């Protein structure tokens, strides 16, 4: 038996060091010169050829679900076919198809005593949070405190709210001296910030609609306004039928007061009592409401494009390295095409070139020993949806997936590096595996000599880039991931992100660095280790 003090020391040790692994990387069967030779197939000329096509107006900004994205997918599949890669996708092709839905309100209306109220001003309701259900007449609300059901405090205990519409406060009850009834301390519990949990409980209890009185309405309405205007795209598997939350409408405190009318006094009294005693009290509130929540749901298909190079080692080939980039972008507005040359035509092109280098290796009988999946995803600009879909429907088992190398925006130079374009931001390499970090550092030192900038790898980086590209969907599954990124620029997400502004020399160098890191990961004897505990 190990002493607990020792265990604790080990745990602290592994979490606290930036990189405890030092010294050389594992040796390979191939020589550095052979690797250099393979990397030399990654060239400015090839990159130009791909990117001038991918960032052409003809691709219409490659918006997921739109014809331009389909054309881009076809182009990518053709490249993989041209490299002689097997068609491992659906229908003997190269695609993993994803069904997306875009939800909008067809009609959202709330009437009080026959008078329509103002959506997004007095009340707010998001299509993505509600089930489509036409018009509901409501003659009675049940005031149910905070809608909390916890061991220490419950608004539901002893109450039957099945089929009812409830009215609750946002947040949670706080008693004398600022002690919260749920936590028993002066700190809030999870309930304060987790409306989703309240809506799940409500659904479980058979509640029809939850009206939430939201003192921060003005702040919180922003997301709903955004969604109502844009129409949010999401994966179809999170469908209406599987929705586990009750329908919800947020109210300004002013509107809530108006709705409660005479019963308002009782509600305020009940709330005061609850705050004091820590015991919930419900109040019946007669109302005359008509709520219409009719949705327009549009279904779209997006494609992930799969390029697979099978490993040469009879045992190691069951393990897979993923090299990913998103190829979708944000489409067009009228005649204005958002070409997305840097975002992320550059990463897509880089992955195509790395695939070619691996195919060259295979033809020469040099490996790779492990298998490599070149994963070009769509849906990134819609919220990392393509990679999220892959991570939840992996083509190869995730426990055999050794790492994800993600390339997103590598063709430009940001203001911070105007004097030295030979740099790259490296994000996430040390978060799960100090060995991954070491391998990338080593590859750069040996082959590419770029400035590796870790500014955005800081855990407190306000930009949160670590959470903002596709590698993150692998990292959350515990798979070591690294993200290569050149930073943003004035053309980021503008129609001016065009191919003429791309620095191909720089891209070639980054492509070679990514190749060497991938080459090491795919060929070393021992699979890289996950050693950083979070």
Residues in Cβ contact with 67 at an 8 Å cutoff, skipping those fewer than 6 apart: 60
Query: Which residue's CB comes closest to Zn ion?
Result: 343
Q: How crowded is the C-beta side of 201, counted as CA atoms within 13 Å?
A: 19
Angle (CA) 512 515 518, round 5°: 155
Give the burial class of 490: count Cβ atoms within 10 A of its Cβ; 0-12 exposed, 13-18 middle, 19 or more buried.
exposed
**Strand 320-326 relative to strand 371-377, pairing:** parallel
Of 321 and 385, which CB lies nearer to Zn ion in the complex structure? Answer: 385
| Residue 236 region by backbone torsions, left for phi larger than 0, else alpha for psi between -120 and 50, else beta | alpha
How far apart (Å, rounded) are the C-alpha atoms in residues 91 and 69?
19
Cα-based distances in Å from 114 to 110, 160, 288, 362: 9, 29, 8, 72
How far apart (Å, rounded) are the C-alpha atoms in residues 105 and 6?
58
Output the smallest distance, CB 326 to Zn ion, in A: 8
Output the smallest distance, CB 381 to Zn ion, in A: 5
Of 347 and 394, which CB lies nearer to Zn ion in the complex structure? Answer: 347
Contact 474, 432 (CB under 8 A): no
Q: Which residues bind Zn ion (CB under 5 A)?
A: 343
Token duo for residue 477:
């599954």
Token duo for residue 123:
């009340």
How far apart (Å, rounded) are the C-alpha atoms in residues 434 and 22?
9
Tell me which residue has tokens 């550059």.
Answer: 346
Output the smallest distance, CB 496 to Zn ion, in A: 14
Residue 278 gets which letter from DSSP?
S
3-state secondary structure at position 169: strand
DSSP 13-52: HHHH-S----SPPPP-SS-HHHHHHHHTT--HHHHHHHHH
How far apart (Å, rounded) are the C-alpha atoms in residues 342 and 330?
12
- Residue (of 314, 251, 308, 328) closest to 69 by Cα position: 328
Output the smallest distance, CB 462 to Zn ion, in A: 18
How far apart (Å, rounded) are the C-alpha atoms in residues 483 and 453?
12
Residues in Cβ contact with 356 at an 8 Å cutoff, skipping those fewer than 6 apart: 41, 42, 46, 83
Contact 485, 454 (CB under 8 A): no
Contact 429, 493 (CB under 8 A): no
Phi/psi at 521 (nearest 5 deg)?
-60, -40
Contact 227, 201 (CB under 8 A): no
């Amino acid at each position: 038996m190990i002493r607990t003090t020792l265990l604790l020391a080990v745990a602290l040790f592994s979490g606290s060091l930036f990189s405890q692994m030092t010294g050389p990387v594992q040796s390979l069967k191939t020589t550095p010169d052979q690797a250099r030779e393979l990397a030399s197939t990654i060239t400015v000329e090839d990159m130009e050829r791909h990117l001038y096509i991918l960032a052409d107006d003809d691709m219409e900004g490659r918006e997921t679900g739109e014809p331009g994205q389909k054309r881009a997918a076809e182009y990518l599949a053709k490249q993989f076919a041209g490299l002689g890669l097997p068609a491992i996708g659906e229908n003997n092709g190269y695609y993993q198809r994803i069904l997306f839905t875009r939800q909008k309100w067809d009609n959202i209306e709330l009437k009080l005593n026959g008078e329509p109220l103002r959506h997004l001003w007095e009340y707010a309701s998001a299509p993505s949070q509600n089930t489509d259900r036409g018009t509901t007449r409501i003659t009675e609300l049940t005031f149910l405190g905070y809608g909390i059901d916890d061991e220490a405090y419950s608004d539901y205990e002893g109450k039957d709210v099945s089929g009812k519409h409830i009215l609750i406060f946002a947040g949670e009850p706080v008693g004398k001296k600022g002690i919260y009834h749920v936590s028993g301390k002066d700190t809030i519990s999870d309930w304060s910030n987790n409306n989703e949990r309240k809506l799940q409980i409500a659904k479980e209890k058979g509640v029809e609609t939850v009206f939430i009185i939201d003192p921060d309405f003005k702040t919180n309405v922003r997301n709903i306004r955004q969604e109502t205007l844009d129409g949010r795209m999401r994966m179809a598997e999170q469908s209406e039928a599987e929705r586990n939350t009750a329908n919800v409408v947020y109210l300004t405190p002013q509107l809530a007061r108006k709705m409660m009318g005479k019963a308002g006094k009782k509600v305020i009294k009940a709330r005061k009592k609850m705050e004091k005693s820590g015991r919930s009290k419900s109040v019946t509130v007669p109302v005359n409401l008509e709520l219409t929540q009719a949705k327009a749901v549009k279904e779209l298909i997006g494609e992930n494009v799969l390029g697979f190079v099978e490993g040469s080692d009879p045992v190691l080939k069951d393990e897979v390295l993923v090299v990913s980039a998103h190829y979708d972008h944000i489409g067009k507005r009228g005649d204005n095409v958002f070409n997305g040359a840097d975002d992320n035509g550059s990463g897509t092109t880089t992955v195509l070139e790395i695939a070619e280098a691996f195919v060259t290796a295979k033809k020469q009988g040099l490996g790779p020993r492990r298998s490599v999946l070149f994963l070009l995803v769509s849906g990134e600009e819609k919220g990392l949806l393509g990679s999220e879909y892959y991570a939840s429907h992996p083509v190869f088992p995730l426990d055999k997936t050794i790492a994800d190398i993600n390339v997103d925006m590598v063709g430009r130079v940001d203001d911070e590096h105007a004097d030295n374009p030979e740099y790259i931001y490296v994000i996430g390499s040390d978060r799960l595996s100090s060995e991954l970090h070491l391998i990338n550092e080593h590859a750069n030192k040996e082959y590419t000599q770029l400035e590796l900038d870790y500014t955005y790898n800081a855990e407190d980086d306000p930009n949160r880039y670590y959470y903002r590209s596709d590698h993150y969907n692998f990292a959350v599954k515990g798979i070591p991931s690294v993200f290569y990124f050149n930073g943003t620029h004035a053309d980021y997400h503008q129609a001016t992100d065009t191919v003429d502004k791309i620095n191909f020399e720089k891209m070639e160098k980054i492509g070679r660095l990514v190749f060497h890191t991938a080459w090491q990961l795919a060929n070393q004897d021992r699979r890289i280790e996950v050693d950083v505990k979070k």
